[in-house]
Amino acid sequence: MWMTRVLSASLLMLGAAAAPAVADSSPSPSASGDSAAPAAAGTSFRTATEIEQGRTATANGSAGDYLYWSFPADSGQRPTVKATVKLPETHAAETWQVDVYDGLRRRQSCQYGAQTRTAAAGAASVELTCVLRTVRAWSEQWANDPLPGTYYVRLTVTDLTTGDLGLPVDTELRVDSKDIGGAAAVDGSLAEPLVPGIAVRSEAQESQSESGDASDSAVLSSIEPDDGWSSGWWSDRWVWTAIGGVLAALAGIGGYALTRGSGRPSRVPPGA
């Protein structure tokens, strides 16, 4: 009976500790069409428009243009990029594609989603989706795993007729992430996130500290997660590890209680 009470109390305590971690892992909803979201897109990697996750960015362009955005992604997140292209009333069939690159400008493959779609003639719009792999805190140099840092989104048309080239289009882009938690935890982390210009800034800051100059150095991408980089160091992995340890200790105590006997001396046979 006492073992049951101890086990129940331990599970209740660990469940209460795990509740905040589970609540933090769910993404917070954000209304689309936020007035603070950018209403333009860049035309190259260097001029990519910075956007925050959870906000819908809009841009006007022409069929045939390359449209670029950038967003930050931290370890443990699995970003989902959704793009919508509103087409003119009259047009022929055309194919649109959305590509995602990391801070090293390595093209990242989509885990699933319609990355390329063909809009039929006269279609009002086309929707594209790219769900990336989970961002890892560390990876081998030869691997192409997604790592913490800046990610670039490129939206363009890959197949259209000459008569439709240059027709005006309206685009919407939104990036949301799911926090995978301890399931994606690895032993290791990057010294710095893959943000263009951050290494140059670090070297400049060191030289400035030696010379006494406190002026800031330019960084090509200044946007970062709300809680800073590597904000997901705490995950449910810690909670479940603690639960496993407590259950193992209780199992050991229970096994000992069942096998140690009553503690009374053994019965001496008559005539001994």
Q: Of 219, 223, 228, nearest to 200 (Cα)? A: 219
The secondary element (H helix, E strand) that includes residue 84 is strand 77-86
Domain at 11-239, CATH from 2.60.120.380, 3.30.1540.10, 2.60.40.10, 3.40.50.300: 2.60.120.380
Domain ranges for the chain, please list them. 11-239
pLDDT by residue (tens digit) across 256-269? 778 876 555 556 56
Residue 186 has pLDDT above 70, yes or no: no
Q: In whole angstroms, give the CA distance from residue 176 to residue 71.
A: 10
Q: What is the pLDDT of residue 19?
A: 45
Q: What is the pTM of this model?
A: 0.69
Both tokens assigned to 174: 């939104």
Amino acid identity, position 31: A
The secondary element (H helix, E strand) that includes residue 155 is strand 149-159
pLDDT by residue (tens digit) across 53-63? 999 999 999 99
Share of the chain above pLDDT 70, in %: 65
Residue 32 has pLDDT above 50, yes or no: no
Sequence-distant (6+) residues with CB within 8 A of 222 are 50
DSSP tag of 231: G
- Position of tokens 């370890």? 75
- Please tell me whether residue 132 adopts helix, strand or coil conformation: strand
Of residues 140 and 46, more confidence is placed in 46
Residue 97 has pLDDT above 80, yes or no: yes
The secondary element (H helix, E strand) that includes residue 10 is helix 2-25
Q: What is the pLDDT of residue 21?
A: 43
Q: In whole angstroms, give the CA distance from residue 147 to residue 52.
A: 17
